[in-house]
Amino acid sequence: MLYESTAQQQLAGTILTGPQFAPATTGSTISVFTTEYCFTAQAANSASQWPATYTVQEVCTGDQSTWTAPAPPPNFVTTIVTCNACETPTQTITCPLNTAGRRGAVSIWGNGVTATAATATATPVLNASEGAGTRTACCGG
């Protein structure tokens, strides 16, 4: 190989290194926290309708001081229930998915109904699979 200068010849076969830089950071950290809050919505089954209260426990990321509860909470869906004993037989309700259909780090307890993810129809049972009525700390009842 022909070199145009002595400097080029000296650099041939040499690995050049520059200053070493630390990875870029934004100066902020992502915090993970657990929060618990209540969500109230109408519930209904084939025999009745009632105001249901759900306790939602969620693992969140971000700044806890600016976090607000979403409405509806994660894993809640809007669905239609037929209530034969109600004044209006077709009831549109918002309720949590059953335990098998839920995703993410969210736990839900309450005195309402749950919906099946595949059909998004509410099941006419209390949310007993996660201790219906046993979580009352934030709901006051």
Give pLDDT, residue 21: 47
For residue 107, the model assigns a pLDDT of 97
Q: Mean pLDDT for each consecutive 10-residue tract of the chain (141 residues)?
A: 47 45 59 96 96 97 93 95 94 94 95 81 42 41 44
pLDDT at 134: 36
pLDDT at residue 46, rounded to an integer = 94
Which stretches does DSSP call E strand in 1-141? 32-44, 49-61, 76-82, 90-96, 106-110, 114-116, 121-123
**What is the layout of strands, in order, in the sheet containing 106-110?**
32-44, 49-61, 106-110
Identify the pLDDT of residue 102. Answer: 93
Long-range contacts of 44-47 (CB under 8 A, 24+ apart): 44/81, 44/83, 44/86, 44/91, 44/93, 44/113, 44/122, 45/81, 45/83, 45/113, 45/122, 45/124, 45/125, 46/81, 46/82, 46/83, 46/84, 46/85, 46/124, 47/83, 47/84, 47/85, 47/124
User: What pLDDT shows up at residue 29?
Assistant: 72
9 HSE (CA, 13 A, CB side): 6
Res 118: pLDDT? 65
